[in-house]
Structure 1
Amino acid sequence: MKKFTVTEITRAVKGLLENTFADNIAVKGEISSFSRSPAGHLYFVLKDQKAQIKCVMFRGMADKNKGYDPKNGDSVEAIGELTVYEAGGNYQLLVKKLDYDSVGLFWQLFEEVKKKLEAEGLFEDELKKPTPYLPKRVAIITSPTGAAIKDFLITMKNDGAVFEVDVWGVPVQGKDAIAPIVSALSKAGAMTDRYDALVLMRGGGSLDDLAVFNEEYVARALAACKVPTISAIGHERDISICDFVADKRVATPTAAASFLGEGYSSAGRELDLLGKRLTNIMNQKVMNANQRLDMLMQSVGSASPKKRVESDRRQLSYLIKSLSGHTLQMTDRKKAKLNELIGIMSRISPKAQIERQKNSINDIDRRLKDALFNKKRSESDRINILLQKVSGFAPDRKAENYKNKLDNLVYRMKSAVKSEVTDNKSRLAPLTAKLEALDPHNILSKGYSFVMLDGKPIKSVFDISLQDELEIRLNDGYINSFVTGKKVSEENDG
């Protein structure tokens, strides 16, 4: 067995350690047992969850590191040499540079809490509660004087949303904000009979500013809410533990207002669209009915009994005139032929021949008369048939048929328009009822009142100042009053 002195062992360890870690090394950990000697040297311990190492930073190096003033609890990165302090028999880090490592510690703690809650199932989609399409009242947990609530209310007004808002004023930064936020979440989150949604909200900031929303207590309180929850913390790039446990995550407070007001915007757009469609349908129905009526009137006009009779009478007159003219022309031609024959006979002389010619003439005259008689009788029969058609045509009965057709068409047109109007009224009724139920003015008849300043509704005690002249609207008139004092409700103080 070899024997060694304490010095020999210590120097052997020193040589082995310093040779192994011959170059500068960087070590991350949390500062504890910090002290500053009268000479300006810094002494502290770096630790993590399982081990620790002593550190010393001599004055010369400390003076070069004045950009950061270390303290207990800080997460840092120390750069230096690993040495053995022989007199104390321990190894230590001779620190040459010390940097604050808040980002590293932040994400370390972030991941620890995230993994823990995720393992418990608090991030599961099955636990997410749906937000109502048309919320009536919403709880806002945020700073009552911050830019976030102002942006929310402005966006809500611009979007035309009419839900009520209760602001639960809490601090939203630092360790002191944990208890007030948890208390507000526990109280407001249980009021399912009052609130349709709950928004945990703050504007943007640094990682340290938003750190409270990564606290396990805050995340668990948000997850335990019975009211549907919305996380609206920071900006689009900011992520918090509360974003994972909330029922809905939106990027900003402004986005939260737009999300909650989307139902009202959609309902308004749908009403406008239905109104336009109803107007177009009515106009088209009326236009079609007018066109059909015009066509019917033209058809009735062209088939008018009076016009038919007049047309037949004109045709009859034409036929009579034509027959008369034809008869006269034929008679004139026969007479001329007879006169010509008589002249010839008078020149021939012989009596027998004259007698033959006379008989012939008589025969011709008889035949002529028969032909004229037959022609006249044929034309007369044709005229009688035409007269029978005219007399058989019943103007009153035809007119009555056309009137019945017209009345039936008008009745069908009115029924179609009435049915279309009834259908569209049925579709509009539910949406109209929803909007009327949400109209703040309807509650005046129930004993409530509106308080306004300069014609604008007052929603918070922070909107008014002492000596402001207020107008209180009741169901049957107005009351003017002056502000002599104001007090924030106990719920908002929480």
Structure 2
Amino acid sequence: MLEQGFAAIAVSGEVSRLTRPASGHLYFTIKDAHAAISAVVWRTTAMRLHALLKEGGEYIFTGHLSVYEPRGSYQLVVTRIESAGAGKLAAEFERRKQLFAERGWFDPATKKTPPHLPRHIGIATSATAAAFEDVRKVLATRPAWLQLTLSPCLVQGAGAPSSIVTALKALATMPQPPDLILLVRGGGSIEDLWCFNDETVVKAVMESPVPVITGIGHEIDVTLADFAADVRAATPSNAAELACPSRQQLRQQIPRVAAMAAMLHQTLAGHDRHSHALSHRLKQTWHRFTDTRHHRLEQMHSRMQHLQRVQRHEQRLHLQTLEKRLSAMEPGHQLHNRRHRLTGTVNQLHQMLHGSLQRKQKLAQTQSRRLHLAAAALLPPRRQKLMPQALRLKQLLLTQIPAHRQRLALYHGRLAAYDKEDILARGFSLNYDMDDKLVTRVAALHPGARLRVEFQDGSADTRIESIKRNPT
């Protein structure tokens, strides 16, 4: 009654007391929080199961009940094992499939047609995977010109999606990209192949500028990357077969030599006639183009010459205006003007001093004559009284003239001290900022400011590193 009533059941639970005898059978107990049941997987079934049982793992076991009459015990004979999360993954697979289809990622109108005879094929898979070796064996029977480029990537695990996307982009962005890309992997459980259902992988396959052929798992395995690919193959080997025809197939497609030669001669004759017609049309077009271009170049040349003359005239006027304005602001010119004004002032001082001296000399001579006449007219005692004053006047004249000369020499020395060349010759220098303004105070500077330092024999550009002000 148990065997007939429970011929096909599914039990969900945790694996406990797992044993693997030499016979190849698997014996274990399926349990949950409330009950337990013995289970067995016969050796022939264990060899073809994808899932690898682990102690403590949770799975969904499908099979039938079997009764062992000598002991009066029953057990579950397992014929299929799925991970406990397989149902959730299947539901998530359908949800993503519908979402990506609504986005148009599976639209047949957007798929690219792979080339019939590719010269360069890129392969995105693990370098150590058996799928890579299967693809290489199949492609070894293809034409010798075929170039293969492996872009290694992870094909299982949490890091597989980003690795697959990077591998596809690396092939598509090569200096000489392949004509076709094979995205392949061997068989596995739905968990093992889940990375090919990732959104980034599906989008990368759909957006690849190079046609993509997928060969993922076995014929019964289907991933979302297969729907987005331009061509879906059942296995990695089948993907390699679809990528390029074999040498035997190419030999069968080659037509007979005589027919091929006739077709070639006919094609060449047609190409010659077409080439002659194109050459004649090209010559006529080239002559018209050359004449038109020459005429336009002549017009442009005359316009450019006129514009250059106008621009040169305007620039010359502008430069002359700037030169006049700059010449008035030039430090040497300003120093010359100051020197000229100081020279005029000194000349005026000379004239004033000379006139003052002449007036004093005339006055002194007049007074001397008057005194001489008065002294001659007065009595000798009066003459005797005036003699000391005459001597004092002579001494005064002798002392004032050297004093005025000394003051004049002092003014002349001060005037010479303002001479720029004389200042520079004494070891001093003049500092100008980038606007050619004379810098006389530290307050006008800041760190990083650039200066032009003028010496007697030239100038130098410098930059302020730090500032030290005198204490107030």
TM-score by length of 1: 0.37
Higher RCO (CA-CA < 8 Å; seq separation 6+): 1
TM-score norm. by structure 2 comes to 0.39
